[in-house]
Structure 1
Amino acid sequence: MKQELELLLAPEVAFDELARYEAILQHAGLRPGQADFVHLRRRSIDARGRQPLVRLRADVYTEAPPKDLFGPWFTYPDVSRARRKVLIVGAGPAGLFAALRCIELGIKPIVLERGKDVRARRRDLAAINKEHTVHPDSNYCFGEGGAGTYSDGKLYTRATKRGDVGRVLRRLVQHGATPDILVDAHPHIGTNKLPAVVQALREAITDAGGEVRFETRVTDLILDHNHLRGVVTATGEALEADATILATGHSARDIYELLHRRGVLIEAKPFALGVRVEHPQSLIDQAQYRRRERGLLPAASYALVHQTEVKGRQRGVFSFCMCPGGFIVPAATAPGEVVVNGMSPSRRDSRFANSGIVAAVELDDLDLKQHGPLAGLHFQQQIEQRACLAAGGTQQAPAQRLGDFLKNKASAELLETSYQPGLLPVRMDEVLGATLAARLRQGFENFGRKIPGYATNAAQIVGVESRTSSPVRIPRDAATLQHPVVQGLFPCGEGAGYAGGIVSAAMDGERCAEAVTELVGSW
């Protein structure tokens, strides 16, 4: 027999395993020993009342639970001698999950990653923070696991119609992620733990006979009329396969330029651009939980959105990739540009909270006549390069105290920051331009009315947050997921414009692998 329960508990009870168990049994009308198993299904924070509570959903079994309670475990056949092969360009979540799904379906994946493996990649990240040296193929965006590996590891997604979210989370748990991600409403692995999970995913691919090649950058396509036969790497090696899944991430600008140069149809798409705002985490905790000490509650987060109007054009301004208890990190992919992103360790115990605050950039805002489908890419580059020049030509980032920004006033000095390369006081209007700055001001003023103390000089904005999503879409047929013109090309994940985070990218990778399996035998 199973009882399905939903209950609200004080944090001191909800996060204490024994106290939680006793509370659930009491709610079910049972005594200790009468329950065979308690399955915690969902946990979320409810901070709407005067005191924050924890909302739990749990199943209580008075007999043995079903064997498939946690869903199927994944097994991978040996595909080392498989007749069918698929090239997968990019070893981010879309590429890795596409490779594992290919293996399950009996196809050998060959994953090509321009960057380094997670361990070797750390040295290049240290060089950005300490020496201000950006390695174009190994940085916070490029390398094993993609941008998510070293920029937080949040797993929350609204893209539940694109695939099986639970399947993705179970696969991550099987490869070393904490089982808590199967329960928490906003699951998170943490930057300190995600590299080991990514390495385990890669080892599962290679143990099953797949290949993963690092420091292998694709520089050309092998096109036979409108059929993609394979790719050419930077060393001149030509690789052919039955199909190619292109999962390069949203920062692989050279791939967009290559496709455009080779006449492969691509499209400009809307994206968003802005800044990172950094507050003391204690300020956000106080505002959200209405208590000075949060106790056992996790570091508080927020999600904000406001519709702005500048020069008669309405555009949304919203928070993006909010990192409670986190750090701001340098995410440039080439020398001469400054880009910032956010990350949190698993404990989320930094003294700082940061979030991207970005404004929508629509096609009407871009110079499509001059740059065509690459217009958004050029728009991004211009602002990133201005940010670098304004902050001294290194990986220091331009910054301004939030209250000063709202008053259009220069900041005489900045606050302590989590951003390791350092900050330089700059009027952010000079970096962002008047229109974008005006939209962000409207957004921050609105957010200050929603969260007490938010729009204050106790916070500062750091620029620029420009890699929220791809400014280019590589089109594909809705049914087959294949490019509408080039046979054998399967655009995939964030870089192609079909995902927006680790989980949605992973689901899209699996879908592309399944689409390849359906079509590859018909050619």
Structure 2
Amino acid sequence: MPIFTNLTIKPSDSLEQIILNLDPQMKSFRVLKKSVDARKKSNISLVYTIETFESDEVPKFEYQSLESIKLNKPSKIGIVGAGPAGMFAALRLIERGTSCILFERGKRVQERMKDIARFWRYGELLPDSNVCYGEGGAGTFSDGKLITRIKSPYIQWVKEQLVRFGAPEEILYLSNPHVGSNKIRQVIAKLHEYLANNGCQLNFQCKINQIKTKNNQIISVIDREKNEYNLDYLILATGHSAKEMYYHLNDINVTLEPKSFALGVRVEHTQKWVDQTQYGNLWDHENLPTANYKLADHNHETGIGVYSFCMCPGGFILKSNTESDTLCVNGMSNYQRGSKHANAAIVVSIDHTKWFANDLFGGIKLQEKIEKKALQWVIDQKQPLGVPAQRMTDYLSYRLGNLPKETSSISPLVAANFHEIFPKEINDSLVKSLKVFQKKMKGFCNHDAVMVGVETRTSSPLRIVRDNKTLFSTSHNNLYPCGEGAGYAGGITSAAVDGVKIVEKILETINQL
């Protein structure tokens, strides 16, 4: 069937009529790619790749099918963590005809939502059931973005599986696909049911406290109830906030190394301002998606980068700490992105060598120090359920100031001075780069722009080192570090792809024995 590429139209144009002009025999069509070109506000356009058909109905999309792989040797494969990396590793194993056992410290997604609501309302934090831990992992309470910078043949398969379990089909062709927090929870519930019915043993509220080794091999894992599970292979996908696991791995001589990460604040603007800035007079056009932005500034003298991260159009700001003596935040959007506000992390890169020298856990210690300062600030203001916040104009003027009445933050905003929460080096970088962003995006530092903090969990400060070819740990050859917590992914898609990639390598290894 004919395929038309780089089909560029105005938002007000009729796509169907333009396609008919190109292919008068067309009776139906399928969108293969769609993006927005907003580089010039005077000439905003939608860019499509279209496939046309002479039949009234578009043929059903054919998903990739996988062949079952018969293993030369029966093997017990365990997965720790039910985030994107862990759940897609389990799915790939099942689709390849191999059973597995998955351990998750948190609860099922519906129960988890109730626990999180109680935390936001009453401050009752459950250390194993929160924004980071539980079925679906941290990605369950995010924008559900699927954008990734990695190149992998598994990306399409991951997206197809998301659609298979209920994600919008548009994620297969949009240039900036996202599922939304509300829809990704539905996807996870259906994926759980499929895994449970097809050979995956799912153990929730089952925190793995100990990994037993012998002769540099993983032999078993032990949960908090002292139950022991013998394993031949272990996929470790615990997420970027499972600090106690890093310490345990270090204790049992699993090779770790520090890695750079970033931290800063969430910056909130009105979504209307973002739309007007990006789209100009077409800011409220019904055929244009909710606008976003991407900003970066690099200081060539210091080598420090400041950049936007995890931008959530039409989103909300969430308190997302995993310990009761800390405080941090994250951003989230639902599928419709219907909030009146947009938020994005504005973070400063932290080079481990420059900051911490030989202290392996220096990054974790810095995270904790800043998070505890943030919590102490709201406690001192007698608002322990709130989150620190400061107008950007006040921050740049080194003053406390007041706060707007309207916000997307689930928790109350508490007037703060981030100059007293962050170290001077981070504040200096933020002040410099925010002024640069104001020049790049006029109005970015307007009076209504609010900084909310602290954003400290952008990625893991450590990497569980693995061999580039075999993908197993360089110290234990049946341990497979996986996903964000292992330091090999950043986001839903890359984490899921990492789980798939590791499964394929494990199956290959088994059949080479």
Given the two structures, how large is their TM-score scaled by the length of structure 1? 0.93
Deviations 1:16-75 (A, max 9, x none): xxx32222221x1x33xx125422111111112214221111122457999785432568
| 1:498 alignment partner, one of 480, 483, 488 | 488
Q: Does 1:441 align with 2:431?
A: yes
Q: In percent, how many aligned pairs have the same letter?
A: 37
Q: Tell me, what secondary structure is at the counterpart of 2:304? A: strand
Please name the residue that 1:12 is paired with. 12
Give the distance between the partners of 1:252 and 1:20, measured in 2 at CA.
48
Deviations 1:412-439 (A, max 9, x none): 3344211122111111011111110110
1:138 Cα deviation from its structure 2 partner: 0.6
Structure 1 residue identity aligned to 2:437:
F
The answer to whether the 8 A contact 1:242-1:520 is kept is: no
Give the distance between the partners of 2:236 and 2:466, measured in 1 at CA.
11
Give the distance between the partners of 2:249 and 2:385, measured in 1 at CA.
30
Q: Does 1:359 align with 2:354?
A: no
Please name the residue that 1:518 is paired with. 508
The answer to whether the 8 A contact 1:342-1:355 is kept is: yes
Give the distance between the partners of 1:159 and 1:431, measured in 2 at CA.
34
Give the distance between the partners of 1:396 and 1:35, measured in 2 at CA.
57
1:402 Cα deviation from its structure 2 partner: 0.4
| Mean Cα deviation higher: 102-111 or 233-242 | 102-111
Q: Tell me, what secondary structure is at the counterpart of 1:193? A: helix
1:292 Cα deviation from its structure 2 partner: 6.8
Q: Does 1:340 align with 2:329?
A: yes
| 1:55 alignment partner, one of 42, 47, 55 | 47
What residue ranges of structure 1 are gaps of 5+ in the alignment? 14-18
1:384 Cα deviation from its structure 2 partner: 0.7
Please name the residue that 1:458 is paired with. 448
Q: Does 1:170 align with 2:143?
A: no
**Structure 1 pair 234–163 and aligned structure 2 pair: CA distance change class (3 A):** farther
1:455 Cα deviation from its structure 2 partner: 1.1
Structure 2 residue identity aligned to 1:143:
G
Give the distance between the partners of 1:121 and 1:129, measured in 2 at CA.
12
| 1:382 alignment partner, one of 357, 361, 369 | 369
**Structure 1 pair 395–75 and aligned structure 2 pair: CA distance change class (3 A):** farther
What residue ranges of structure 2 are gaps of 5+ in the alignment? none
The answer to whether the 8 A contact 1:51-1:290 is kept is: no
Give the distance between the partners of 1:364 and 1:224, measured in 2 at CA.
33
Deviations 1:297-347 (A, max 9, x none): 2211000000136xx522110000000000001110010111110010100
Please name the residue that 1:16 is paired with. none
| 1:290 alignment partner, one of 258, 280, 284 | 280
Q: Tell me, what secondary structure is at the counterpart of 2:281? A: coil
Deviations 1:128-177 (A, max 9, x none): 210122211011111101101111211111112x3421111101001111
The answer to whether the 8 A contact 1:243-1:520 is kept is: no
Q: Tell me, what secondary structure is at the counterpart of 1:221? A: strand
The answer to whether the 8 A contact 1:76-1:208 is kept is: no
The answer to whether the 8 A contact 1:77-1:208 is kept is: no
Q: Does 1:115 align with 2:115?
A: no
Q: Does 1:84 align with 2:97?
A: no
Structure 2 residue identity aligned to 1:183:
Y
Please name the residue that 1:489 is paired with. 479
1:509 Cα deviation from its structure 2 partner: 0.2
1:5 Cα deviation from its structure 2 partner: 3.1
The answer to whether the 8 A contact 2:488-2:498 is kept is: yes
Structure 1 residue identity aligned to 2:2:
K
| Mean Cα deviation higher: 445-454 or 289-298 | 289-298
| 2:92 alignment partner, one of 79, 90, 101 | 101
Structure 1 residue identity aligned to 2:35:
S
The answer to whether the 8 A contact 1:308-1:442 is kept is: no
Q: Does 1:72 align with 2:64?
A: yes
**Structure 1 pair 423–332 and aligned structure 2 pair: CA distance change class (3 A):** same
Given the two structures, how large is their TM-score scaled by the length of structure 2? 0.94
Please name the residue that 1:152 is paired with. 143
Give the distance between the partners of 1:271 and 1:376, measured in 2 at CA.
8
Task: Work out the number of aligned pairs and report it.
Answer: 507
Structure 1 residue identity aligned to 2:505:
A
Give the distance between the partners of 2:235 and 2:438, measured in 1 at CA.
44
**Structure 1 pair 73–178 and aligned structure 2 pair: CA distance change class (3 A):** farther
**Structure 1 pair 272–355 and aligned structure 2 pair: CA distance change class (3 A):** same
The answer to whether the 8 A contact 1:299-1:324 is kept is: yes
